[in-house]
Amino acid sequence: MSEHLTVVDHPLVQHKLTLMRDKGTSTAVFRQLLREITLLLAYEVTRELKLTTRHIETPMEEMDAPILAGKKLALVSILRAGNGMLDGVLELVPSARVGFVGLYRDEETLKPVQYYFKAPEGLKDRLVIAVDPMLATGNSSAAAIDLLKEAGATDIRFLCLLAAPEGVARMKEAHPDVNIVTASLDRELNSKGYIMPGLGDAGDRMFGTK
């Protein structure tokens, strides 16, 4: 696997993903599983966070103990499905700052259209984790990363649940510096831009809109 893409093959991640793919899984369970699986993926995507040391006293003696260095990380949800991944990351990193990028996919052209952007201050000094469950064509993901870079971000990771080879290739071409962490690299996109075998429309499944 290239540095650019990390597929988390932990058995708990794969088990939960299978339950999420199953079309018989209810909205409530789907959302709960997404929160749980995101927490496990967040563990992987934060693996290289920088550490410094703090001098502390344990009940036994003094020590220089490791502690996170630098500014709090910024978590950016690509609306609307990205919101389903916020809680899982925030459970692991409760002090993260949170931003939102609103893009919708034009169903004709499959191109992203921006309608909202709000990011935490000081992006250039933070690790920025952009979250969106489905890396499909990669067009909206690449556009979201463009906006984050324009806002100053320099150290960005992309966290998703499923990735299509087409989306990974598009991201690699547009943003080779942005590492992707996912639970699965699926087979392909269908003619409508859906991931196969996939799990359907992630937003609809988590919010019960269909």
Binding site, by residue number, is: 80, 105, 132-140, 195, 200-202
**Residue placing its CB nearer to ligand URA in the complex, 46 or 77:** 77
Q: Angle at Cα 181 formed by Cα 40 and Cα 133, nearest 5°? A: 80
CB–CB of 161/202 below 8 Å? yes
Catalytic site includes residue 38? no
Task: Give binding residues for uracil as ranges.
Answer: 195, 200-202
* Nearest-approach distance from CB 34 to ligand URA, in angstroms: 12
Q: Between 165-174 and 139-150, two packed helices, what is the crossing angle to 10 degrees?
A: 30
Annotated binding site for 5-phospho-alpha-D-ribose 1-diphosphate: 80, 105, 132-140, 201
**From 109, 146, 177, 205, the catalytic residue:** 109
- Cβ proximity to ligand URA: between 152 and 193 the closer is 193
Place of tokens 């489905």: 134
> Smaller CB distance to ligand URA: residue 43 or 100?
100
- Annotation marks residue 154 as catalytic: no
Nearest to 162 by CA among 126, 192, 138, 129: 138
Active-site annotation holder among 25, 87, 105, 146: 105
Determine whether 201 is an active site residue.
yes
Q: For residue 128, give Cα distances in angstroms to 121, 131, 141, 178.
A: 11, 10, 14, 10
- Shortest Cβ 181–ligand URA spacing (Å): 18
Please, which residue, 79 or 136, has the CB nearer to ligand URA?
A: 136
Which residues on neighbouring strands pair with residue 57, listed in sequence order? Answer: 62
Residues that bind ligand URA (CB under 6 A): 81, 134, 136, 193-195, 198, 201-203
| DSSP run (H or E) holding 127 | strand 127-131
109 counts as catalytic: yes
Question: Which phi and psi (to 5°) does residue 100 adopt?
Answer: -140, 140
Q: Kindly list the catalytic residues.
A: 105, 109, 201, 204
